[in-house]
Structure 1
Amino acid sequence: MKEIDHYKRFQSPYIVHLIDSQVAQQCDGSKTVYVLLPYFPLGSLRDSTSRNLLNGTFISEAECIRILIGIARGLRCLHDPSARSQDTEQNQEQDVVSMSYSDEAALLLEDTPLELDILSSANTINSNLYAHRDIKPSNILFSSDGLPVISDLGSCSKADLSINTHMQLTELQTWVSDHCTVAYTAPELLHVTLNRSIDTKVDIWSLGCTCYFMLFGISPFEREEQISGASLKYAIGTGNFSFPSQDRYSTRLLNLIKKCLQVDPAARPDINELLTLLQELQES
């Protein structure tokens, strides 16, 4: 049900919207949640990149930047509370139906665990900030007019997470294993340590990996695994990766990927800084 809450909370043209939802009580006492989301006939970013690979074609730098800006605008809605009202105003013209929970639905779910304690507001520093935590090519869909749309908010949760106990550490490791895709997951989530905070910068890392995939058809650390033989998690932990030899894409775009894939989260740009960099690239 947290996923449904997120679909209703983030009203942005760059985030998939909820059409309807329902909670059903089953005969055996279990509960089933039904969620109705839009259909995206153009498929996902993974689909379009796979088609390019099959056809021996490549995405243009301009198109890559356009898609990245759209994804970044969706992430800004999650990361920056001040941006949500702006996105809501832009989205008012869209036909969005968002079903409120009925009293009956609330009763059905009152004894259902909705999320791990580690991701609850008690363990977060700022409950207004959210992170998606599973940005990857298959979770970026295209609307009928080609707009990139972030999907699958099942992994979305409150950001600025503080890890202070071994129980929290274990819970987070289990959650990451269940909800995140290793090849696109930031090192601070894969190699969790005590007495540290995890924030929205995990999505910046994932966006850098997604950009790399758009250009080369493989994530940077899966390619590193193929080249060096190092395990995927080890490669991510060291942050070592390289670019294939090519002359299609500018050094500025490749440098932007490098900025996103800094092992130290503090060295990565935040979402507003990244949007500025992308817009400068688009205008150059």
Structure 2
Amino acid sequence: MGQAMCICSRSAITIDNKRYYFVQKLDEGGFSYVDLVEGAHDGRFYALKRILCHDREARKEAQNEVEMHRLFNHPNVLGLTGHTFTERAGKTEAWLLLPYISKGTLWSVLEKLRDKGSNMPEKRILHIFRGICEGLKAIHDKGYAHRDLKPTNVLLEEDDKPVLMDLGSMNRARIEVRGSREAMTLQDWAAQRCTISYRAPELFNVESHCIIDERTDIWSLGCVLYSMMILEGPFDLIFQKGDSVALAVQNPVTIPQPCSYSQALQNLLSSIMVPNPQERPDINWVLDQVQNLQGSEGGTVDTNRI
């Protein structure tokens, strides 16, 4: 006879009139915590993201994250099950109830491969990468950009279906910069919200009069592809050594040789990671190339894009 678990003493929260019991802590960031909780009504596990809102601006940002989740109903973008704002010890917290994906992040999978001295087969890379592209296309099609795409922000379900998460840095895709003050404001924002080793070149030194668009995500997408191929980001070691990432991203990425992957996949990576955003492709072109590579083993990448 199995041992019954008493949930009477477990701490509980209520969201949308439903009770959820705390199971364990999953992750912790600068101003947020993620806990594993169990629904009293359905016995299912969920991830509860608690965002500490120290001021009105922080609450506004948390509300923006809620609204970004609500915009999407797509298999490759993490949905929002429920949310609430609560007062605890005189401070406001935003509680975001999210689906729990037990396999973890793409980065955790890459770390395990690296620890085993293995690599990710090209077929698997293309499968995961296509799903990431599909999710990113859904975001771009609605006129938004993710702004913090990286392996730790991609969850993997059991069938290797990728799900984009952490929409807290998402904003409108097209940002018109008019003057040095706006440029510095955007640059400071990017320094805080866009992970340095996956940040697009144009966000390090924002020009006084320019347009920043969703192609910042394409650069980050290239960094994610690189990490799946090499099992580390293209600028991770540069950052860890304390060298200038801002300087390194001004040059085309170098793929370590010999490389076990097809020349077509290497060409795709080189076509994505172009320092000049005006020469960088959009998500539709990238997705077309991935589909071509999946459709024919050893396929080719169209280097004569418009």
TM-score, scaled relative to structure 1: 0.78
2:132 aligns with: 71
Which structure has the highest strand share of the two? 2
Deviation readout 1:175-234 (Å, 9 max, x if unpaired)? 11111111111001112111100001011100101100111122123356789x952211
2:213 to 187, 190, 199: 199
Shift of 1:162: 0.6
Aligned to 1:276: 288
Matched with 1:47 is 108
Q: Distance in 2 between matches of 1:266 and 1:240?
A: 14
TM-aligned CA distance change 1:247 to 1:232, over 3 Å? closer
- Which of residues 14, 24, 27 in structure 1 aligns to 2:86? 24
Q: How does 1:247-266 map to 2 (within 5 A)?
A: 247-266=259-278
Calculate the aligned-residue CA RMSD, in Å. 1.8
> Which protein is bigger by CA-based radius of gyration?
2
- The correspondence of residues 47-196 of structure 1 with structure 2, limited to 5 A, is 47-81=108-142, 129-196=143-210
The 2-side partners of 1:25 and 1:223 are apart by 41
Q: Which has the higher contact order (CA 8 A, sep 6+)?
A: 1
Residue 71 of structure 2 corresponds to: 9
Q: CA deviation at 1:251?
A: 0.9
Residues 29-50 of structure 1, C-alpha deviation per residue, up to 9 Å, x if partnerless?
Answer: x422111111111111100000
SS at match of 1:266: helix
User: Is there any run of 5+ residues in structure 2 with no aligned partner, and where?
Assistant: 1-62, 297-306
Compared with structure 1, are the counterparts of its residues 193 and 143 closer, same or farther at alpha carbon in structure 2 (3 Å cutoff)?
same
Could you list the structure 1 runs, at least 4 aligned residues long, displaced by more than 4 angstroms after superposition: 223-227
Report the structure, 1 or 2, having the larger helix content.
1
> Gapped runs of 5+ residues in structure 1?
82-128
Given that residues 224 and 230 in structure 1 are in contact (C-alpha distance below 8 angstroms), is that contact kept between their aligned partners in structure 2?
yes
> What CA distance in whole angstroms lies between the structure 2 residues aligned with 1:257 and 1:190?
21
**Cα pair 1:221 1:241 within 8 Å, conserved:** no
TM-aligned CA distance change 1:39 to 1:215, over 3 Å:
same
Amino acid of the structure 1 residue aligned with 2:279:
A
TM-score, normalised with respect to structure 2? 0.73
* CA displacement, residues 254-277 of structure 1 (integer Å, 9 cap, x when unaligned): 111111111111211111111001
8 A Cα contact 1:224 1:240, kept in partner: no
Measure, in 1, the Cα distance between the counterparts of 2:226 and 2:238: 12
Q: Secondary structure at the match of 1:196?
A: strand
CA distance in 2, matches of 1:265, 1:165: 19
SS in 2 for 1:149: strand
Letter in 2 for 1:52: L
Instruction: Say if 2:283 is the partner of 1:221.
Output: no
